[in-house]
Structure 1
Amino acid sequence: MKNIRIVIDGDSCPVIKIIEDISIKYNITAILFCSYCHVPNKKSNIKYCIVDSYPQAVDLAIINDIKNGDIVVTQDYGLASIVLSKGARAISPNGKIYLNESIDILLYNRHLNKEIRKAGGKIKGNHKRNRKDNINFERNLIRLIEDTQNLL
């Protein structure tokens, strides 16, 4: 059976501890990709891939390393889109599972919001992270792991 990995876009990931706990429980390798400017406190079970701090360096490292069956934790719709195209799965730190069927609309909305901001408009920001986000993330990450194990 192919090994599943959890790949973390780690420059600003609020769920590293949850990922660590789940990776131990399911005996899955977790790899945190981050720039040398954003290295969090070392976690015992998580492997690190530290890259340069130039723009998109973490994303490019993940894209080059990703394998079919991996699960990527990211807030970046663009990265999620590429991950999905390579046969991997993607989930946001809030627990939203990115799907091929809906990624295009997320990318389009991101583009529209950027255009609105560029024209001087205001966009409603994200809500403050709460306990419910952690519960949703944990539940959906476990679901992705179990679904992926059944497919491999």
Structure 2
Amino acid sequence: MRLIIDGDGSPVKNEVIELGQNYQLPVVIVTSVDHYTDKIYPDFLTFIYVDKGADAADYRIIKEIEVADWVITQDYGLASLVLEKGARVFHHNGQEYRKETIDMLLTQRYLGAQMRRAGKKTKGPKAFTQQDRLRFKKVMANLIEKELKLK
């Protein structure tokens, strides 16, 4: 089991790294070369850098994942592809994407894009707070503990 982060713009990278350390799980951050760092990280953390491009990180994540992996992303399109590969996928709020609801989320995304193209204003996501980070970490810690007990 690895924790794989869709790294471009993820507000919970540090929380996932902490979870990986606490539960001795490998963490993989897939991000564009724009976010390159030469900071030294622990051995359980791996960065995979991809070229610039709208979906480059998504394609690399799909290539990398295995059934036992958990992916963290806010991208509904990527989430739907991860679900098809049989891995688990979570939003930054800790909510797990499910096959039963992903079509509805994709439809909402499509309708929002249509409205914006038509000149209508739509609300963006609210700012991610420290409380949101703590909630994410707590939810994920509980899920990881349950998963590890099953093994």
Report Cα offsets for 1:132-152 as digits up to 9, x if no partner. Answer: 211221122223323433555
Give the root-mean-square deviation of aligned CA atoms. 1.6
Counterpart in the other structure of 1:37: 34
Offset of residue 118 of structure 1: 0.7
1:106 to 2:105 alignment: yes
**TM-score of the superposed pair, with normalisation by structure 1:** 0.90
CA contact (8 A) 1:6 1:31 kept: yes
Q: Which amino acid aligns with 1:95?
A: G
Which segments of 5 or more consecutive residues in structure 2 lack a partner in the other structure?
Answer: none
Structure-2 residue corresponding to 1:73: 72
Amino acid across the alignment from 2:21: I
Q: Structure 1: which 4+ aligned runs deviate by more than 4 Å?
A: none
Tell me by how many angstroms 1:41 deviates: 6.5
Deviations 1:65-100 (CA, angstroms, capped at 9, x unpaired): 110011101110000111111111111122222111
Q: Structure 1 stretches of 5 or more lacking a match?
A: none
In structure 2, relative to structure 1, the CA distance for the partners of 1:151 and 1:101 (3 Å cut) is farther
Q: In 2, are the aligned partners of 1:11 and 1:39 still within 8 Å (CA)?
A: no
Aligned mates of 1:138, 1:123 — CA distance in 2? 29
| Alignment partner of 1:6 is 2:7 | no
1:10–1:33 contact (8 Å) kept in structure 2 = yes
Name the SS for the 2:121 alignment partner.
Answer: coil
Alpha-carbon deviations, 1:75-128, whole Å to 9, x = none? 100001111111111111222221112111110100000001111111112111
> TM-score when scaled to structure 2?
0.90
Secondary structure, counterpart of 1:111 in structure 2: helix
In structure 1, the residue matched to 2:13 is 16
Identical residues among aligned pairs (%): 38
> Using a 3 Å threshold, how does the CA distance of structure 1 residues 143 and 86 change in structure 2: closer, same or farther?
farther
Q: Helix, strand or coil for the counterpart of 1:102?
A: helix
Match of 1:63 in 2: 62
Which shows bigger deviation, 86-95 or 103-112?
86-95
